[in-house]
Amino acid sequence: MIRTFSYIAILLFLTASAVKDGRKANEAYESGNYEQAEQLYLTAIEQDPDNAKLYFNLGNAQAKQGKVEDAIQSYMEFRGLAESPQDKAIAEYNIGTLLAEGQKWKPAATHFKNALKLNPSDLDAKHNYEQALTKQKEQEEEQEGQDENQQNQPPPEPSEYALAMKEQAEKLVGQRKYSEAYNLMQRALDADETVRAFNDFIERIKNVSDIDSN
């Protein structure tokens, strides 16, 4: 289940110019008009770009529309701006939930585990992590033998998760944070083998990162 923040808490963090759009976005979300809510949250973010909870609620509105890649990116933006481990954990939990809904069990397990590292007392995350591990094992057993000679095969079609992670890495590259971008892509590759579609990009930022570290 995708988690949400209290709307009162959201409005406390809005600037005066963003209050109107934020309130309308909340009302649209509550009414089930998720497309309108998304647009209003985007407008509010333009007015208040450092408001973490706006990105979180934007992610929720996008998730309700099945926009997995966009929602993951919004949750990642929220995670980067969030200050408390508990808030960061909620972002990880929601990413894990989205991936589990798409039966992407390995990356789902990774993000539930991340949520637990940030908030070890989260019983829902513990349950979902265990379930994702179980499903991951079943999925891997079904695919056993199908991945022989994988290295000689063309790169796989990137999943929505892979696309979202590359988008985040490209933002880091734009900020000249090559090591952070490389580490992000490596973690993503560990979680989702379709990230292999971006091997050239990963190798390129690795080379730049290696230069920076020398």
Kindly list the domain boundaries of the chain, sorted by start residue. Answer: 8-135, 160-213
Rounded Cα distance, 49 and 55, in Å: 9
pLDDT at 7 (0 to 100): 34
Q: Are 4 and 57 in contact (CB under 8 A)?
A: yes
pLDDT in tens, the chain (214 residues): 656 543 333 333 445 556 677 778 888 998 999 999 999 999 989 988 998 989 999 999 999 999 999 999 999 999 999 999 999 999 999 999 999 999 999 999 999 999 999 999 998 999 999 899 989 988 888 877 665 555 556 777 999 999 999 999 999 999 989 899 999 999 999 999 999 999 989 998 988 777 755 5
Rounded Cα distance, 132 and 151, in Å: 26
Give the tokens for residue 171.
């933002």
pLDDT at 144 (0 to 100): 73
Question: CATH assignment of 8-135?
Answer: 1.25.40.10
Q: Are 71 and 59 in contact (CB under 8 A)?
A: yes
Q: Alpha carbon 47 to chain centroid distance? A: 23
Closest CA to 4 of 73, 97, 66: 97
DSSP state of 157: P
Rounded Cα distance, 114 and 94, in Å: 11
pLDDT tens digits for 155-203? 779 999 999 999 999 999 999 898 999 999 999 999 999 999 999 899 9
